[in-house]
Structure 1
Amino acid sequence: MTDPIIAVLAFDGISPFHLSVPCLVFAEDRTALGLPRFDFRICAVKPGPIHTEAGLTIAAPHGLEGLDGADIVIIPSWHHLGEPASPPLMEALRRAHQRGALIVGLCLGTFAIAAAGLLSGRRAATHWACSEQLQKLHPDVAVDASVLYVDNGDIVTSAGVAAGLDCCLHIVRARYGAEAALRLARQIVLSPHRQGGQAQFIEHPVARSADADRFTQALDLVRATLGETHSLDSVAEAAGLTRRTFTRRFQ
């Protein structure tokens, strides 16, 4: 039985973190955890060394031909959102999809998949901050700005940055079982399972209690008069509380 082939696309300007996400999950030998040994490939979108966003230079051993025969093709990010994927890349993605490879877009990698026409009429996720731009560029895609990842069966797309780890762990769970995914999550110290429908973030103001405001007021007074002597009674008075109430509530 041949090892499953994982092809990860890389390009000039890629973030090392985004590239490291599929590397962490699929590139290392995890056979002791119940996973197969993967034939892991870094494939350059264009020939030549890859200059990352952080100044590191990577020599990719494969070009787009590395996608041939791949079981899973992962686009871990994308560089210029207004610049569509090149015709050779789009054709390589379409060929891989047509022969049954799982296509995965992490974070802004969803833009490249959408440019190839593989998300038309389908739900997709990307980084919440870029979801509106993805929707404008590809109005035929149902962009969900709130979820961590969307699994369409043959195409999986995820939200930004760390959500890529959740997405890769989901793929492990779907293909190789919950137990293997749990062992892997423990190994890389990651939450075992975050549902794809979980919100990317919750934008609510942090609730402040009346006590918190009173204590802040008292502490501000103390900081402003550090040269003076402060008693428990004076600090309680600054907070607008009795000594007894202040000592009971201040922890």
Structure 2
Amino acid sequence: MKTYMVRNVEIGKDSPKICVPIVGEEIEEILESAAEIADTKADIVEWRVDYFNSYDNYEQILICLKKLRSLLRDIPIIFTFRTDKECGHKNIDRDYYTKLNKLAIESSLIDIVDIEVNTIGDDMKELIELAHKNNVLLIGSIHNFESTPTREDIMENLKYIESLNVDIPKVAYMPNCNEDVMNLLAASKDIYENYSDRPFIAISMSDIGFISRICGNRFGSAITFGTVGKNSAPGQVDIDNLIDKMALFS
């Protein structure tokens, strides 16, 4: 399986890399979070731009990105605008979603961009080409905050995302029972051992799905998500707690 070297972090090698989200509404709050995260063992930082009050102001987004890049030094930055269709905090149309992600990719300030496969539609190929031209990795993601599909459908979703030629396929589902979590883990293991040639992310959310966040090295998921302060999805826990629990599966 291929791996990706992003600054000093090799994604897809050894234990899952720990990503911490920033979910502030104002630049000052965002930068305070970044400064705090920079002193932890976080491998990656995800800026959730849909929380940002100035999400519709290109200039403010670039100002914030420049300051984040300076504060986070060599920690890779994921740029993510999660739409309300996938339980994000803002409702924007596809045209703006595409333009916003293009702006981030071409800024030279981010390392990875997370693109919702079901939102971007036919513009995915163009964004992938633009990302690769600018040395930005692209995560292609599908989120469902209501339920978890069957094991077979989880595998098909991961295969479909990979077929688009994204760098890192990602799926995240809400479990309604323990069987949902087991299906996610089984599908992840099967993809890892028998199909995928690249790192991927497979997460079962909420407290029920917590195990999926700590056992990625046994089931293939390459990135997990912890918190320093506020979380961005159900089931995320403090980074120190996450590290302790991950050690059980090392």
- Give TM class, smaller chain: 0.3 to 0.5
Q: TM-score, normalised by structure 2?
A: 0.34
Q: State the structure with more CA Rg.
A: 1
Structure with the bigger percentage of strand:
2
Bigger relative contact order (CA 8 A; separation at least 6): 2
Of Structure 1 and Structure 2, the greater helix share is in 2
TM-score (norm 1): 0.34
